[in-house]
Amino acid sequence: MTLVGIGGIVLFLVVVTLVVKPVGLYLYNVFDGGRTWLDPVLAPVERAIYKVGGVNPAKEMRWTEYLFALLAFNLVGFVLLYPVLRLQGVLPLNPQHLPAVGAHVAWNTAVSFVTNTNWQAYGGESTLSYLSQMWLTVQQFLSPITGLAMVLALIRGLTRKNATTLGNFWVDLTRAFLWIALPVAAVAALVLIALGTPQNLAPYTIVHTLQGAKQILPQGPVASMTSIMQFGDNGGGYFNTNAGYPFETPNAASLMFQLTLGFLVPVGLTYYFGKKAGDTRQGWTIFAAMMVMFMFGVFVTYWAEAAGNPIVSHLLQHAVPNMTGKETRFGVAGSSLFETGTTAVSWGSTAAANDSFTPIGSLILLFNMMSGEVIIGAWGVGLIGMLAFAILAVFLAGLMVGRTPEYLGKKIQAYEVKMATLAMIVPTFVILGFAAWAVSSRGGVSGIFNPGPQGLSEVLYAFSSGVGNNGSAMGGLNAASPFYTWTVGFAMLIGRFPMYIPALAIAGSMVKKQRVPPSIGTFPTNGWLFGLLLIGTVVIVGALVFFPALALGPLAEQFAMQAGHLFGGVPK
Amino acid sequence: MSAQMSRKKASAFDRQLIWRALGDSFHKLSPAWMVKNPVMFVVEVGSALSTVVAIRLYAQGQIPVADFTMQIAVWLWLTVLFANFAEALAEGRGHAQAAALRGTKVSATAKRQKGSIWEEVAATELRRGDVVMCSAGDLIPSDGTVIKGAAAIDESAITGESAPVIREAGGDKSAVTGGTRILSDEVWIEVTANPGETFLDRMIGLIEGAVRQKTPNEIALAILLAGLTLIFVVVVMTTEAFAQYSGLHLQLVILVALLVCLAPTTIGGLLSAIGISGMDRLLRHNVLAMSGRAIEAAGDVNVIMLDKTGTLTYGNRMATEFMPLPGVEIRDLAQCALIASLADDTPEGRSIVALAKEQFGLEDPQSGSEPPVYHPFTAQTRMSGVDLGAHQVRKGAPDAVAAYVGGVPAELEKALTEIVEGIAHQGGTPLAVADGGRVIGVVHLKDIVKVGIRDRIAAIRKSGIRTVMITGDNPITARTIADEVGIDECLAQATPEKKLEYIEQQKAEGYLVAMVGDGTNDAPALAAADVAVAMNSGTSAAREAANMVDLDSNPIKLIDIVEIGKQILITRGALTTFSIANDVAKYFAILPAMFVPIFPGLEALNVMHLTSPESAVLSAVIFNALIIPMLIPLALRGVRYRPQSAATTLRNNLFVYGLGGLFLPFIGIKLLDMMITALGLVALR
């Protein structure tokens, strides 16, 4: 660990903390009738969209209507995307004449981009035409705003009282798109171009290297896709190597810019939540709990990667950090920060090879996803998950103050507990269930390239990434095999819809409740004590269930590595 | 021995109860019963599986492994039995009380009115609306309302209070309860309950737990616990798959042990005992809750409405000060007031005598040659007094006394008015005293706040509960008393309508309201309140509308009820937190034990340095089992409740049960491991 590395990480944490309030206030202005300086341009567009779409923006929806609209919207997204992938060979904008995407991979990819996962069972530049890439970019706009709409509904459910409706899905979607996704992505794309990322529709460039070899340099609308893929926490990169590729992230400045971009909305939402709750400390408490866990993860990863592999150090006769699979442009600190960040934010962009991380480093990446992507998390869904944990924490410990537990003055009763428990069960069942299936079935085991604990980590990683809608891959797994395209595909679907439907159900039930005015008899959900309680709940209830699996995966490997033992060779 | 006596003597560790509970814990092993509690059902299935495995191993002659497996199986069975024992013990107390109550339900007969004649029928044949006649010595056959006559009734069977009470037709004291006995006189009673629905029946049902419904919080918690258990079932099953992938074959019993240790067995085993004992604790306060929901609502209450008279104050005005007019010795005033009150038997009169004697050491005046002539208080004169020879003293309402003496001289009138208004302003009652033909001063009578009430109100306010005083007094008087007691708000000049309106307004703002009532006109407000406590002495309408009945008819008990409600919730939360926090240590005991054979490096996770994998698993299982009986007293008694802010309560309880739950098992498992090693319970490798 170097001073520069630590300094850079701390600087990033400070920047993230500083943007919380302005972003939160901007969200508040966008969604709660405030004014923004974009209004003169966008308000007419918004009205036109409603007119064309036949939407009455004043009509509010119950939670079931809201859910139905949301599901229908996503279904249409899937139905339109799948044929584009299958038919790209005959569709325009395909200068490389790439053939149609196979059925399994197309299904997996369509699900992946509808669910904001961006798990890539394909290599972008070698599989997809420009049209397909741009169509994916469309989904990269639509899936994060869907997540944002979900959390808006949940927040309204928690903060309105004696109401029945949660807002209008189409309005939330339109405003999120026009006021947030579109302008920021446009500006960010320009910044990325300025930092060296290409943006064109030209065919791939063929260059001859100094050694005389022929090299193909892929081209295309990279900056426009990269900006929204990072801002929208999508993570599905233009290139197979994602943010590690020089055209996507030419330098460390571009890397830090992209990293900040991905944190903007998720952290800003915590402030927005506090503002809506009428007590910004509620939001800051959630933010603090997220950040403490995130910081812990970053520094542990950085420490593990900086410490490196003792076996390698022994061979080289001096201590070296673990630079395997890391870009020299970003170094150990930058790579550790970026990978921890994109796993925590349910984002999945990668600037390093996660498979080459030390076992402890990959343990943190796994933990970030296994905890339910609540350590910041992607647009909306991170906060939804954290609020579900807050409800559980309030219920578990809240009884200890001698009152029926309340969150934001609303009683947490059997229905809410049932739904929050359901949301908690989903990731556990999917990750453990699918992973157990994978390691005990021929289809699963044959896709594992690294036997031993590393292979188990890779399998756990794939399903954690899928169900967490993260999308990053550890690697070392034949993700394009039918077994993994289908299982991970289902993991992504379950992790998106069955996981968050309970959240909307909670919103629908909570919105009807009376709000009990706070007094000194009220369980305080703002302040350090609740923050600690929340962290304890996430760790003990959310993540500890993975302890046995993690013990056989990264932990076993780490201790073996320290004892000078390596795994490899053919599977037993 | 009355029910009440037995209730009071029933201590938690009564030997007979323990024996009975021990027997019951085996009866409850029936799967049909266990399945109601998913957490413990999983443990039972695990116990059965382990037993089968152990027997098979013995049959195969693998003695050391079989011994180990059998030990685990035994401790798993004990885990189930301990949980059953906790529940049986909590129920046992109720059973004993119910048996005592049922003793009073002898097959009484009754004289029922049929047209113009009275026929003899069995009490069980009585229906709502029948009219029966009971006379001295009769057992009242069913619940009812006195419609004619008045009688002294011994209600000790229900309340444990041996002093007889008077019940009479009309008014707020007309309700009678089946199973109580008439001591004197004869009354006509209109029956208000069908057989099986009487107060006594309901009471027995509630105590026995036959109709005990789970409270809303209990249901929510049970869902969460079942969900957690389900998750751990999946965790354990998939662990087997991961272990196989890693080339490790795990014994079934180890997997079962892991599952049982991770499942929230501590709270799962004690959950119903906490609920039952909460009801029991209320009962020992002589409060009968009609539903568990009501007890829980008591913990949630934000607003408590208390009647002033009888609850906060003694209900009688007492003399606190003699205030002479200018030119009059205070001692003379006291002397005259004393004389005027000699024959006054009202509490006010007696308090004047007591104050005069206490402040000035006065004694009863010697009776002179002439016998005193007493003038008792009447509504017309609005004063009372004595003629002691020429000494004519009067005391009464200032205007009445002034009129009696033919007006007050102008120079004194101002002083008199000042004193009188001053007293009224402080919420007191002025009583003018006249000697001969002139007014000499005023006695200040005021409401006396009950001893200790101030502290109780202060305590309840610390928990964030708002107190509201209900009184018929005018707002100024009401505010004075309220300030003295430390009450937040007062509802002055309260009528039943105003009470109802107030409650509804509070509820609309999201508050939960608790109140006490006894009269028929309280019934609407009682029905609207979230926690409504009716006095046992009240009318049956009030008792019907309420969700709790206080058998002692002591309204201040509302505060106890609220505290008990909170205590139940706190106990439940504390044990849940404790139970879940325990998992961390158990992981660290069992996981290295499971995986070290294949990955020796994982020995690093054996932070407790447990002797061997077998002893580690066994100590975790034993700890998991023993923690249940160790916590039974806490579950039955309840976590201590202190009136303080929620933030402080949370901090303290999180510290004790959260952090304690995290660290205690590390110590406990280590100690058990040392004992197991010392005793050589498992074959060492």
Residues B610-646: tens digit of each pLDDT? 999 999 999 999 999 999 999 999 998 899 888 888 8
Exposed e or buried b per residue across A228-240, where buried means at least 16 C-beta atoms within 10 angstroms of its C-beta: bbbbbbbbbbbbe
Q: Are B447 and B317 in contact (CB under 8 A)?
A: yes
The two most distant CA atoms of chain B are separated, in Å, by 117
Cβ-Cβ contacts under 8 Å, B246 against chain A? 452-453, 456, 552, 556
What does the pLDDT average to over A232-255?
Answer: 85
Backbone angles phi, psi at B572, to 5 degrees: -60, -45
CA distance A217 to B276: 75
From residue B495, how far is each of A320, B467, B485 by CA, in Å?
A: 84, 18, 22
What is the reported pLDDT for A549?
Answer: 95
Nearest to B235 among A161, A422, A548 (CB): A548
- Residue A570 predicted with pLDDT over 70: no
Q: Using CA atoms, how far apart are residues A252 and A330, in angstroms rounded to an integer?
A: 6
Alpha carbon separation from B21 to A489, B10, B12, B610 (Å, rounded): 54, 14, 11, 35
Asked if A161's CB is within 8 angstroms of B569's CB, the reply is no
Check if the beta carbon of residue B514 is closer than 8 Å to that of residue B304: yes
Identify residue B569 by its one-letter amino acid code.
L
B44-102 confidence digits (pLDDT tens): 999 999 999 999 999 998 988 999 999 999 999 999 999 999 988 888 877 777 777 77
The helix (run of H) or strand (run of E) holding residue A217 is: strand A214-217
Active site (annotated) includes residue B550: no
Helix (H) or strand (E) holding A491: helix A482-510
pLDDT at B503 over 80: yes
Contacts of A57 (CB under 8 A, 6+ apart): A50, A168, A170, A171
Write the residue in A400, A540, A546 that is nearest to B574 by C-beta.
A400
B525 vs B503: CA distance, rounded Å:
7
Q: What are residue A406's DSSP bridge partners?
A: A411
Return the pLDDT at B161.
Answer: 66
pLDDT in tens, A87-109: 998 998 888 888 999 999 999 99
Q: Please tell me the predicted confidence (pLDDT) of residue B105.
A: 63
Residue B194, Cβ density class (10 Å: 0-12 exposed, 13-18 middle, ≥19 buried):
middle
Kindly give the pairing relationship between strand B303-307 and strand B513-517: parallel
Predicted confidence at residue A569, as pLDDT, reads 47
Please state, in angstroms and as integers, the Cα–Cα distance from residue A328 to each residue in A286, A354, A365, following that order: 35, 15, 21
Mean pLDDT within A405-417 = 92
Q: Which of B223, B570, B604 sits opposite A418 (nearest CB)?
A: B223
Of B120, B117, B111, the residue nearest B191 (C-alpha): B111
pLDDT at B369 (0 to 100):
64
Q: Do A412 and B462 touch (CB under 8 A)?
A: no
User: Which chain A residues contact residue B236 at CB under 8 A?
Assistant: 548
Chain A residues lying within 8 Å of B234, measured CB to CB: 428-429, 432-433
Candidates B568, B650, B653: best to mutate against A (most CBs of A within 10 A) is B650
| Nearest C-alpha neighbor of A399 from the set B263, B218, B281, B584 | B218
* Of A399, A520, A560, Cβ closest to residue B599: A560
Q: Do A565 and B228 touch (CB under 8 A)?
A: no
Q: Is B452 left (phi over 0), alpha (psi -120 to 50) or beta?
A: left
Say whether pLDDT at B660 is over 90.
yes
B302 chain-A contacts, CB cut-off 8 A? 516, 519, 521
Set B154, B307, B550, B583: catalytic member: B307
| Structure tokens given for A201 | 């529709």
- pLDDT for A135-187, tens place per residue? 998 999 999 999 999 999 999 999 998 899 999 999 999 999 999 999 999 99
Sign of the CA dihedral with B59 first, then B61, B67, and B68 last: negative
DSSP letter at B552?
A: T
- Greatest mean pLDDT among A364-378, B88-102, B196-210, B365-379: A364-378
Round to whole Å and give the CA distance between B458 and A382. 43
Provide the pLDDT for residue B2.
Answer: 40
- Write b or e for each residue in A425-451: b if 16 or more Cβ atoms lie within 10 A of its Cβ, otherwise e: bbbbbbbbbbbbbbbeeeebbebbebb
| Three-class DSSP category at A199 | coil
The answer to whether the CB atoms of A545 and B227 lie below 8 A apart is: no
Give A411's strand partners.
A406
Q: In the A/B pair of chains, how many CB contacts fall below 8 A?
A: 221
- C-alpha B361, offset from chain centre: 45
pLDDT given for residue B8 in this prediction: 45
Per-residue pLDDT at B377: 80
Q: Indicate if the alpha-carbon torsion angle B393, B399, B404, B410 is positive or negative.
A: positive
Q: Which of B237, B242, B248 to mutate to test the interface with A (most CBs of A within 10 A)?
A: B242
Looking at the complex, report in whole angstroms how far the Cα of residue A27 sits from the nearest Cα belonging to chain B: 29
Best mutation target, B599, B617, B657, to test chain A (most A CBs within 10 A) = B599
pLDDT (mean) for A67-89? 94
Are B595 and A428 inside 8 Å of each other by CB?
no
Choose among B574, B584, B654: nearest Cβ to A544. Answer: B584
Alpha-helical regions (H) of B177-329: 199-208, 216-245, 252-262, 265-284, 292-300
Q: What is the mean pLDDT of chain A?
A: 91
pLDDT band at A44 (very low <50, low <70, confident <90, very high): very high
**Residue range A512-517: mean pLDDT, rounded:** 88
* Predicted confidence (pLDDT) at residue A572 exceeds the cutoff of 50: no
Q: Is the pLDDT of residue B347 over 50?
A: yes
N residues, chain A = 572
Q: Pick the range with the lowest mean pLDDT from B203-207, B253-257, B292-296.
A: B203-207
Highest mean pLDDT among A278-287, A449-458, A469-478, B555-564: A278-287
Which chain B residues have a beta carbon less than 8 Å from that of A404?
216-217, 296, 299-300, 569
**B145, β-bridge pairs:** B175, B190
**Which of A400, A408, A417 has the highest number of chain B CBs within 10 A, making it the mutation to test binding with B?**
A400
Interface test with B, best of A403, A546, A550 (most B CBs within 10 A): A403
Rounded to 10 degrees, the C-alpha dihedral B587/B590/B596/B602 comes to 20
Query: What is chain B's mean pLDDT, rounded?
Result: 85
Distances (CA, A) of B82 to A7, B331, B357: 56, 73, 64
Q: What dihedral do alpha carbons A444, A446, A452, A454 form, nearest 10°?
A: -70
**Residue B11 pLDDT grade (very low, low, confident, very high; cuts 50, 70, 90):** low
Report the share of chain A in percent with pLDDT over 70: 99
| pLDDT of B367 | 60
User: What is the band of B284 on the pLDDT scale with cuts at 50, 70, 90?
Assistant: confident
Task: Find the residue in B nearest to A442 (Cα).
Answer: B245
CA distance A424 to chain B (A): 9
Segment among A229-233, B332-336, B362-366 with least mean pLDDT: B362-366
Q: Tell me, what's the pLDDT at B74?
A: 97
B227 interaction partners in chain A (CB closer than 8 Å): 418, 421-422, 424-425
Distance from CA of B241 to the nearest CA of A (A): 5
8 Å CB contact of A404 and B299:
yes
* B595/A551 touch (CB, cutoff 8 Å), yes or no: yes
* Residue-level pLDDT at B209: 62
Cβ-based contacts of B219 with chain A (< 8 Å) = 414
Distance from CA of B232 to the nearest CA of A (A): 7
Say what the pLDDT of residue A440 is.
93
Residue A330 pLDDT greater than 50, yes or no:
yes
Q: Do B599 and A572 touch (CB under 8 A)?
A: no
Confidence tier at B233 by pLDDT (50, 70, 90): very high
A19-33, A430-444, B197-211, range with the lowest pLDDT: B197-211
B638-655 pLDDT, tens digit each:
998 888 888 899 999 999
Q: How confident is the model at residue B212 (pLDDT cuts 50, 70, 90)?
A: low
CA distance B613 to chain A (A): 15
Is B569 within 8 Å of A404 when comparing Cβ atoms? yes
Q: For residue range B402-433, list pLDDT tens digits in order.
A: 888 888 888 888 888 888 888 888 778 888 99
Query: What percent of chain B has pLDDT above 90?
Result: 33
Nearest CA in chain A to B230: A425
Residues 6+ apart with CB under 8 A from B435: B332, B336, B391, B392, B393
- The predicted-structure confidence for B130-173, as pLDDT tens digits, reads as follows 898 888 888 888 888 888 888 888 887 776 666 778 888 877 77
Q: How confident is the model at residue B4 (pLDDT cuts 50, 70, 90)?
A: very low
Residues of A within 8 A of B569 (CB-CB) are 399-400, 402-404
Interchain contact, A421 vs B511, CB within 8 Å: no
On the question of pLDDT at A86 being above 50, the answer is yes
pLDDT of residue A568: 60
Give the distance from CA B552 to its chain's centroid: 12
